[in-house]
């Protein structure tokens, strides 16, 4: 008969192998990205480690490419465009996605599954097809090649992320609270902002952050929709790789990695806050 110690050994071994496998997968995904960080401090205009960098010679490292980013008008325009387009498209996507999620969360919503599938289609349809369709549609409206067209296109790409996060937050929502507020004389708009919105706020903010990341990182739609004055950071990086390979691309990539990490940490904190509000025990 097998002893409990025998089962304990295999349990600990399985746990250790699972943790080791998880760390190996994480390293496999992260290491190619982290290699960019030291290369961005290369004093020479190369995309590879120099002998001085490998020997940790201080003279082989420099902030040269970071200074070039913030002194080059093209990069400054791309940074400004990325934030302008990202912020306005996020605001539009958040409003549309939140309203859609609140409506789709109700059981009495007609054709709910069909409407949900339609709204989430930008996440499913290949992006090149979506970008081509947007280009022809917005061209007929005279919006292609301008800020408004790019903002509307990015808002369409970000809205599904807001719908998903807000819908997840609304799961298990007690609508009797809203009905009680209505019975007490509150108007529907006030019920939404005073009763529903405080409970779904973490999901709304998380969806907005995902929409912003989607816009900030998007390049395919920009290639179709943007004119010379609407170049964003990914579009400028794409042009740099095609026209003139310059390590400043690695420097801006490093900054984007830091921005992504900050946003992901914020999303995780919001997720934990939402689960605490719903009374769910969060494992450490």
Separation between Cα atoms, residue 203 and residue 32, nearest integer Å: 31
pLDDT(182) > 80: no
The 10s digit of each residue's pLDDT in 79-133 is 999 999 999 999 999 999 998 888 887 777 778 888 888 888 888 888 889 888 8
Please tell me the pTM assigned to this model: 0.80
The CA angle 71-74-80, to the nearest 5 degrees, is 90
Q: Are 246 and 45 in contact (CB under 8 A)?
A: yes
- For the record, the structure tokens of 268 come out as 């995780």
pLDDT(267) > 90: no
The 10s digit of each residue's pLDDT in 11-41 is 777 788 888 888 999 888 888 888 888 888 8
List alpha helices for 35-171, DSSP H. 36-39, 51-54, 64-69, 73-104, 112-119, 121-124, 127-140, 147-170
The 10s digit of each residue's pLDDT in 113-128 is 888 888 888 888 888 8
- For the record, the structure tokens of 17 come out as 């192998």
* SS3 state at 119: helix
Question: What does the pLDDT read at residue 110?
Answer: 79
Q: At what angle do helices 197-217 and 147-170 cross, to 10 degrees?
A: 140
Q: Map tokens 């400004």 to a residue.
A: 80
């Amino acid at each position: 008969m097998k002893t409990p110690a025998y089962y304990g050994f295999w349990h600990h071994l399985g746990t250790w192998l699972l943790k080791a496998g998880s760390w190996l997968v994480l390293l496999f995904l992260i290491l190619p990205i982290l290699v960019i960080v030291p290369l961005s401090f290369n004093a020479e205009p190369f995309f590879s480690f120099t002998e001085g960098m490998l020997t940790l010679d201080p003279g082989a490292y420099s902030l040269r490419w970071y200074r070039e980013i913030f002194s080059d008008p093209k990069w400054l325009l791309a940074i400004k465009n990325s934030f302008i387009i990202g912020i306005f498209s996020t605001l539009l996507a958040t409003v549309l996605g939140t309203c859609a999620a609140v409506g789709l969360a109700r059981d009495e919503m007609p054709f709910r599954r069909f409407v949900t599938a339609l709204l989430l289609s930008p996440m499913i349809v290949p992006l090149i097809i979506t970008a081509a369709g947007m280009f022809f549609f917005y061209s007929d409206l005279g919006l292609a090649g301008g800020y408004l067209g790019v903002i509307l296109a990015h808002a369409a790409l970000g809205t599904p992320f807001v719908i998903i996060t807000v819908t997840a937050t609304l799961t298990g929502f007690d609508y009797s609270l809203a009905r009680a507020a209505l019975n007490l004389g509150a108007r529907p708009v006030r019920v939404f902002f005073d009763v529903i919105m405080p409970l779904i706020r973490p999901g709304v903010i998380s969806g907005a952050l995902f929409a912003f990341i989607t816009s900030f990182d998007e390049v395919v739609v920009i290639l179709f929709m943007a004119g010379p004055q609407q170049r964003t950071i990914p579009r400028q990086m794409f042009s740099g790789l095609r026209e003139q390979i310059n390590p400043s691309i690695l420097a801006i990539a490093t900054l984007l990695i830091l921005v992504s990490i900050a946003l992901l940490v914020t999303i995780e904190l919001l997720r934990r806050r939402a689960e605490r509000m719903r009374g769910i025990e969060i494992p450490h």
